């Protein structure tokens, strides 16, 4: 998946030093879209540190390439220790990164969640 244009824009805008680890992170994040985000899980495969992964995530979130849903709880300690979920901005990229040529019935639930989130975000922008 050599070079999402969006990934290139993020690199330029946020002055991210190395292209390959950022691209790898973006691909892995999109492939695991809709799941709980744990930065350490991405650091090893991308060959960078946990703080670098957090910097990459912040860049993708700022450019709206990724939606980060942070947990909410009325009990403050629970909210702090719970991990967020990340969602790719586009179902097309999601399908590409998961290598879904023709999604199966059990995969439509994840696509539906992404579509609903995208619709909510687009309506909230207005």
- Give me the domains of the chain, ranges plus CATH numbers: 5-125 (1.10.10.10)
Three-class SS of residue 27? helix
pLDDT value at residue 101: 80
pLDDT value at residue 109: 78
Q: Could you tell me the CA-to-CA distances from 90 to 30, 70, 79 in Å, in that order?
A: 9, 19, 27
List of the chain residues with pLDDT < 50: 1-3
Q: Could you tell me the CA-to-CA distances from 61 to 9, 65, 106, 116 in Å, in that order?
A: 13, 6, 28, 18
pLDDT value at residue 1: 44
Q: Would you state the structure tokens that stand for residue 66, as one six-digit string?
A: 């990724």
């Amino acid at each position: 998946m050599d070079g999402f244009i969006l990934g290139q824009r993020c690199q330029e805008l946020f002055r991210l030093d190395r292209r390959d680890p950022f691209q790898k992170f973006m691909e892995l994040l999109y492939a695991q879209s809709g799941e709980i985000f744990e930065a350490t899980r991405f650091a090893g495969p991308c060959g960078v540190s946990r703080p670098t992964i957090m910097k990459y995530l912040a860049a993708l979130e700022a450019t709206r390439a990724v939606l980060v849903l942070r947990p909410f709880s009325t009990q403050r300690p629970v909210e702090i220790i719970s991990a967020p979920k990340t969602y790719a901005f586009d179902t097309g990229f999601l399908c590409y990164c998961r290598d879904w040529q023709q999604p199966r019935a059990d995969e439509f639930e994840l696509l539906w969640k992404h579509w609903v989130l995208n619709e909510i975000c687009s309506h909230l922008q207005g």
